[in-house]
Amino acid sequence: MFGQKSELMIPQEAVTVFSINNLDLLKKIGVDQLISYDFMNEIHQELFDGSTDNKSLKDAGIDFDQRLNIFYGKTQNMEVSGFTFGITDQAALFSVFDDFDPLPSEINGAKAYGSFFNNLVIKNNNGLLIRVEPIESYVSSMTDSIWFSRGNLSPYYQGFDQNEAFSDDELMSQDISYELLEKNYNELRDSIQYVLQHQYLSEVFKGLFQEGKSLYSLSQPFREVLIHPVAGVFYMDNERNFDRAKNLWYLKSVLPSLYLDIQELYQGNIITGDLVLGAQSIDFNITASYSEPLGSIYLEMNDAKFDKRIAKYIKEDQSAFFTYTINLEHAYNKAYEIVLPLLEKEKNIDLSMNVLTLKLANAFINKDAVFDAYKGCMFGTFNGVKKVKTRKIEFFYNEDTFEYGERETDAEEEMPIFTLGFTTGRPDVPELILAHLSTITSNFEKTPNYWVYNKAIFDAAPLYMINTDGLFILTNDEDLAKNHADGYGKAGLSNKTLKTIKKAGSMSGFANLKAVANQFPTDFLLPEQVPLMESLRGKSGTMSLRSGKTTPRNTEISLSYGFESSEDSGKHLLDMLNTLYLLTK
């Protein structure tokens, strides 16, 4: 089984895998430079120390002809993370990964090593670096169970004033007075965590090395995606993500047959992606696969046409925008046709009553009117940061007495400007709602071209609502409401861009990274995130998203990043990965 490829050592518990094919891009990057990326913290914090100075990955004995596979997985009880890689020189490897000590290995033909958090297994010049952690909530519940069964009180009960301060000597004498042979709560928890960690690690190793069950051997889609001749591939098994979803425990235990039916609906729900590095572009082509019943819903959902009236409310030079076009009515009808029979089969009385309610609602509600009010075509734009008018209280002084009073005056504050809009066949519905709200509060005002809701945002800035020409638009952009309520005219999206959006299917998006970075308010970024945003400002690049063909079994989505820079795409890729990591963590 373990011929030459390290991807064969990815455990079956892995749900997400990012596999870098072209390791050449890493050859020129020094270890210290690579580990300076924040995303590397997650996988290498125990691997590198001061001894890695001036060493490159090439010095680490890693085989650059093989893939580097980074994986993550979560089951009901444990989290598994790590990466696999090829090895050309084990001595060189341990000169960099020098925190590992040999472990008594029970794996045929393999050597196992351990550090404080991670384990390293080397078999046939393939390396598996793995960390297995029991799920924290599971450890806690098991600890609580044992702790209370021993007749202990809550570990958080202190029986004295919480604010009472104890000196170090008092705390020390308290510790000494405890029963030394009896573990306290935290010690018990640590012991349970340690035992579970070893148990789960053994389970993972048993599956992988004794039973020969790896993600590669068990998943056909994973095997397929690995043969794509691209720089990197991505794999995510949503079917198993569904299975371990915590909020489904009720369904699983109380309505097991319904759970199985819904699980069947999610069968084959796998997302794979190809990462293609061009000279001045990085393309991420994603395929979302699903079961046929679910696919038939998506197919109906995507049977929609983009409403071109939206185009005049998006500027051609907009920093960032997205459009989303779905046919909600078709999707509802199809979902009703597929999901209702599953629900009907259940004999549970509560569920049965809910099904009856759903049937009655379906029979009596005017669905055409509902889906005409929100037709399923929407858009959003980021318009940069602008000063918006607010009100403030200021103090004024009597020059004779220096007594002071308060008065309300105009003020200006900076805030990000967003617009969100959707098409509607029933402009009378939002009009009815707004007219009603205006009778409740004077903050709602109607002008000839728009409605304004004063102090809507953070009790300070106004929100404008434009209800015109089959579109309902919400924005905090005063300029759009007051000067362009009928759209931007010639400054709107060009016919060429419009054509691209129409072709894109249900989703399309665009971002001028430099413009967004320049306009992004850095006030609320963490200090370590600010330099990264600053570095993005120095890069010129555009990012575009479009969904492609939808079939009963899959949908294609592509994310393209184009840039003008002398830096190679590998460096750009690492920068982008780091940006995404920092902004999403």
Taking the complex as a whole, how short is the minimal distance between the CB of residue 410 and other proteins, in angstroms?
10
Identify which range of 222-230, 241-249, 406-414, 577-585 contacts other proteins by CB under 8 A.
406-414
Residue reference for tokens 């995606």: 225
Residue 452 binds to other proteins (criterion: CB under 8 A): no
Taking the complex as a whole, how short is the minimal distance between the CB of residue 523 and other proteins, in angstroms?
7
CA distance 243 to 260: 10
Residue 166 binds to other proteins (criterion: CB under 8 A): no
CA-based nearest residue to 451, from 440, 439, 429, 435: 435
> By rule CB under 8 A, what count of residues binds other proteins?
28
Q: Which is nearer to other proteins, 364 or 524 (CB)?
A: 524
Residue 415 binds to other proteins (criterion: CB under 8 A): yes
* Burial of 22 (C-beta count, 10 Å sphere; 0-12/13-18/19+): middle
Identify which range of 72-80, 243-251, 385-393, 493-501 contacts other proteins by CB under 8 A.
385-393
3-state secondary structure of 566: coil
Element (H, E) at 359: helix 349-364
List own/partner pairs for 116-120 with CB under 8 A and 24 or more apart.
Answer: 116/46, 117/45, 117/46, 118/46, 118/47, 118/82, 119/201
Residue 441 binds to other proteins (criterion: CB under 8 A): no
Residue 404 binds to other proteins (criterion: CB under 8 A): yes
CA distance 393 to 402: 18
Residue 395 binds to other proteins (criterion: CB under 8 A): yes
Q: Figure out which of the listed residues 229, 253, 459, 496 binds other proteins, where binding follows CB under 8 A.
A: 459
Identify which range of 69-77, 367-375, 404-412, 485-493 contacts other proteins by CB under 8 A.
404-412
Residues numbered 486-545 forming contacts with other proteins, rule: CB under 8 A:
522-524, 526-527
Q: What is the largest CA-CA distance in the chain?
A: 94
Amino acid in position 148: F
Answer yes or no: are the C-beta atoms of 319 and 511 closer than 8 Å. Answer: yes
Instruction: Please provide the DSSP assignment of 337-350 as one string.
Output: HHHHHHHHH---HH
Taking the complex as a whole, how short is the minimal distance between the CB of residue 186 and other proteins, in angstroms?
23
Q: Which is nearer to other proteins, 165 or 180 (CB)?
A: 165
Residue 164 binds to other proteins (criterion: CB under 8 A): no
CA distance 186 to 200: 21
Distance (Å) of CA 375 to CA 49, 336, 429: 57, 18, 13
Residue 396 binds to other proteins (criterion: CB under 8 A): no
Q: Which is nearer to other proteins, 253 or 398 (CB)?
A: 398
Residue 458 binds to other proteins (criterion: CB under 8 A): yes
Residue 457 binds to other proteins (criterion: CB under 8 A): yes
Taking the complex as a whole, how short is the minimal distance between the CB of residue 456 and other proteins, in angstroms?
12
Q: Figure out which of the listed residues 28, 198, 308, 392 binds other proteins, where binding follows CB under 8 A.
A: 392
Structure token pair of residue 355: 């099904």
User: In the complex, which residues of this chain contact other proteins (CB under 8 A)?
Assistant: 388, 390-395, 397, 399-402, 404, 406, 411, 413-415, 457-461, 522-524, 526-527
